[in-house]
Structure 1
Amino acid sequence: MSQINVRVDGVAYTDDVEPRTLLVHYLREQLGKVGTVIGCDTSNCGACTVHLDGAAVKSCTVLAVQADGGEVTTIEGLAQDGALHPMQKAFHEMHGLQCGFCTPGMIMASVDLLRENPNPSETEIREGIEGNLCRCTGYQNIVRAVQQAAGEMAGSASAREEVR
Structure 2
Amino acid sequence: MPRTEYYDDPNAPEPNSLVVAASAVVADDAGRILLQRRRDSGLWALPGGGMEMTDSLPGAAVREVKEETGFDVEITGLVGTYTDPRHVIAYSDGEVRRQFNVCFTARITGGRLAISDESTELRFVPPGELADLPMHHTQRLRIQHFLDHRERPTSADAEGS
TM over 0.5: no
Which structure's relative contact order is higher, taking Cα pairs within 8 Å and 6+ residues apart?
Answer: 2
Greater helix fraction, Structure 1 or Structure 2:
1
| Structure number, greater radius of gyration | 1
TM-score (norm 1): 0.27
